[in-house]
Chains A and B, each alone.
Chain A
């Protein structure tokens, strides 16, 4: 025990923070898994467990772009969509050859991440030349383009392999026993659900490992140097485009992996799900969690995803309350006067405690 404690204190603050984050995720998993197995969780909440993991992962990925790399991206949901549809296609194609669900899920997630990463690379090269608000609007535009293309994508599979088309299902020219995988605006239907809560938690931990190690590496420091002062970083010989691209592509690939998990959690999934509003939702998680703060993102994504669920008793008013909470939190945390007020209250409380201590 003493040895463990000694080792703990000898670790750097960064790695200690990292381990605490893993701990939080594992505790969360243990609590909810035990609630799940004793069936004391409401139906709607237990259905939210995988989406929570998915949104946590996507928010962590976006945090890499917005917080660590300092670029505002409004198209994160697009990458999620690419991952989701890739995952569904891969899973359906492998259904006959691999009957084991978890293994198929792993393949789906890997392919989802790969294709989304490639999309991120293709988008990142032109986009990262722009700065600030212009970059934001272009990522928004790309997100919409991805959604639009997914919206008129038709994919089917038969004994000859995959068929792609942009018109409709009959024009794919499939054999009679071909399976329709993606049906344009109707999305993917008849998906076999293979995502599990455990898979979600493993993905969250894997994402934490990747992002925390990236941040604490030479590459991560270069990315943060560019965020803090691009010109100074450039003068020190840091290749700005390369490092920005690393952050952007990693983020896209992780979002794709999460998307694959998301897609395989429902029996149907529509392209409309991955629109601008979802991107904004993810951005809200990141900003309210504290930009660049990994633990904050972790907590904010979980709490904010469940919040509308908890507000269910307010029925129609819940999104209104959500909006008001959002505005108030932003006002309180960003206004100088509000900050001073909070500080004053905190100081008073501390004084009172000190007095009671005497």
Chain B
């Protein structure tokens, strides 16, 4: 029971970190960035390469993955999304899908479709609490989640750039009139989201150590669900949504059916959305005629 709970929170923390990327980008650019899951995969491969081919120490490997993903996020934003700022949301969505295909197939060409086994980067011994054993990976994941959450909250509420981000997400036009560089702020959001994706990639691959070009796809969709679950656009919402989703998934696997666990996760999402159409912490949008 306790083991399942800890595993659920640990998996949920990974979802939460990915969901933060979705939710921040959605909040600011009002776009569903379907390529986010593949940025996670690239982050995983970047860490994998540095750690196994070049024998870098884990900390540097993670740092390298973050740098790669941040750069990738900025490049994707500049090349593919920025020209479409004024386009319909469906056009941006399809472009994001194109980027997702592009990343997956590039990875397929570079690293082939054979699964790579991810090296163990987290060398912390597991702890035994009562009857439950908590793995080092789970501890690090949960801690990373808490640290990121606190850092992001402080960043968005205290710093000037963070405040600018919130302003842009509320009203782009007004923010521009107040002298905020909207384009730069959006790029920054993408950079932060992609950097977080790199961390999520490393944590995900540490917990499930097989790395394939499609590794990011399913966690990406689930994290997106988590973001919607908590109310898309809301940072604490992404956190709560992610952790709850992880717990539901692990408990569904343990007590109901392994094969149907995904169906259970999505069914819970649907029930939540039917009861609360904008997610757990989402603000209801008032329509004006």
Interface residues of A (CB under 8 A from B): 66, 72, 126-127, 129-131, 133-134, 136-138, 140-142, 144-145, 148-149, 151-152, 166, 185, 231, 276, 280, 283-284, 287-288, 291, 316-317, 319-320, 322-324, 326-327, 330-331, 333-338
* Min distance, Cβ A31 to any Cβ of chain B, angstroms: 30
| Contacts A141-B269, A148-B263; A330 near B98 (Cβ below 8 A) | yes
Residues facing A in B86-115 (CB within 8 A) are 86-91, 93-95, 97-99, 101-102, 105-106, 108-109
* A interface secondary structure, majority: helix
Residues of A within 8 A of B266 (CB): 141-142, 144-145, 148
Please give me the residue from chain A that is nearest to B289 by CB atom: A231
Pair A72/B90 contact, Cβ less than 8 Å: yes
Please give me the residue from chain A that is nearest to B94 by CB atom: A287
Pair A320/B105 contact, Cβ less than 8 Å: yes
Binding stretch for chain A, among B54-62, B136-144, B271-279? B271-279
Residues of A within 8 A of B185 (CB): none
* Pairs A–B under 8 Å by Cβ, sample size 24: A126-B270, A127-B270, A137-B269, A137-B273, A141-B225, A145-B266, A148-B260, A148-B266, A149-B263, A152-B259, A166-B257, A284-B97, A316-B108, A316-B109, A317-B109, A324-B98, A324-B102, A326-B94, A327-B95, A327-B99, A333-B91, A334-B91, A335-B83, A336-B86
The 5 A-B residue pairs with the shortest CB-CB distance, nearest first, are A141-B266, A323-B101, A326-B98, A334-B87, A148-B263
Pair B228/A134 contact, Cβ less than 8 Å: yes
Pair A142/B270 contact, Cβ less than 8 Å: yes
Please give me the residue from chain B that is nearest to A287 by CB atom: B94
* Min distance, Cβ A336 to any Cβ of chain B, angstroms: 6
Bound-complex Cα distance A326 to B91 (A): 11
Residues of B within 8 A of A316 (CB): 108-109
Pair A231/B95 contact, Cβ less than 8 Å: no
Please give me the residue from chain A that is nearest to B102 by CB atom: A323
Pair A231/B287 contact, Cβ less than 8 Å: yes
| Contacts A231-B287, A287-B91, A320-B109; A145 near B267 (Cβ below 8 A) | yes
* Min distance, Cβ B248 to any Cβ of chain A, angstroms: 13
Pair B95/A330 contact, Cβ less than 8 Å: yes
Bound-complex Cα distance A138 to B224 (A): 11
Bound-complex Cα distance A66 to B221 (A): 21
Choice from A152, A280, A326, A335 contacting B84 with Cβ under 8 Å: A335
* Min distance, Cβ A298 to any Cβ of chain B, angstroms: 18
Pair B257/A152 contact, Cβ less than 8 Å: yes
* Min distance, Cβ B134 to any Cβ of chain A, angstroms: 29
Pair B225/A130 contact, Cβ less than 8 Å: no
Bound-complex Cα distance A283 to B108 (A): 23
Is residue B6 contacting chain A, with contact meaning CB distance below 8 A?
no
Bound-complex Cα distance A162 to B274 (A): 34
B245-289 CB contact bits vs A (8 Å, 1 = yes)? 000000000000101101100110110011001110000000101
| Contacts A148-B263, A280-B97, A331-B80; A133 near B90 (Cβ below 8 A) | no
Bound-complex Cα distance A335 to B83 (A): 6
Pair B101/A322 contact, Cβ less than 8 Å: yes
Bound-complex Cα distance A145 to B94 (A): 23
Residues of A within 8 A of B192 (CB): none
Bound-complex Cα distance A276 to B257 (A): 21
Choice from A327, A331, A335 contacting B102 with Cβ under 8 Å: A327
Q: In the complex, given contacts A319-B101, A323-B101, A330-B98, what are 4 additional A-B residue pairs having Cβ atoms less than 8 angstroms apart?
A: A133-B232, A140-B225, A276-B221, A327-B99
Residues of B within 8 A of A326 (CB): 94-95, 97-98, 101
Bound-complex Cα distance A327 to B83 (A): 11
Residues of B within 8 A of A152 (CB): 257, 259-260
B182-207 CB contact bits vs A (8 Å, 1 = yes)? 00000000000000000000000000
Residues of B within 8 A of A319 (CB): 101, 105, 108
Please give me the residue from chain A that is nearest to B277 by CB atom: A130
Pair A287/B90 contact, Cβ less than 8 Å: yes
Is residue B211 contacting chain A, with contact meaning CB distance below 8 A?
no
Residues of A within 8 A of B277 (CB): 129-131, 134
Bound-complex Cα distance A43 to B288 (A): 57
* Min distance, Cβ A317 to any Cβ of chain B, angstroms: 7
Pair A330/B91 contact, Cβ less than 8 Å: yes
Is residue B32 contacting chain A, with contact meaning CB distance below 8 A?
yes
Residues of A within 8 A of B267 (CB): 141, 145
Bound-complex Cα distance A289 to B109 (A): 29
B204-236 CB contact bits vs A (8 Å, 1 = yes)? 000000000000010001001100100010000
* Min distance, Cβ A70 to any Cβ of chain B, angstroms: 10
| Contacts A151-B259, A319-B101; A284 near B94 (Cβ below 8 A) | yes
* Min distance, Cβ B33 to any Cβ of chain A, angstroms: 12
Bound-complex Cα distance A220 to B142 (A): 52
Residues of B within 8 A of A320 (CB): 102, 105-106, 109
Bound-complex Cα distance A277 to B171 (A): 34
* Min distance, Cβ A46 to any Cβ of chain B, angstroms: 27
Choice from A136, A144, A287, A327 contacting B263 with Cβ under 8 Å: A144
Please give me the residue from chain B that is nearest to A277 by CB atom: B217
- Of the candidates A142, A231, A331, A337, the one having the most CB atoms from chain B within 10 angstroms of its own CB is A331
Residues of B within 8 A of A335 (CB): 83-84, 87
Bound-complex Cα distance A336 to B102 (A): 24
Residues of A within 8 A of B259 (CB): 148, 151-152, 185
Residues of B within 8 A of A151 (CB): 259
Residues facing A in B123-143 (CB within 8 A) are none
Bound-complex Cα distance A331 to B84 (A): 7
* Min distance, Cβ B163 to any Cβ of chain A, angstroms: 25
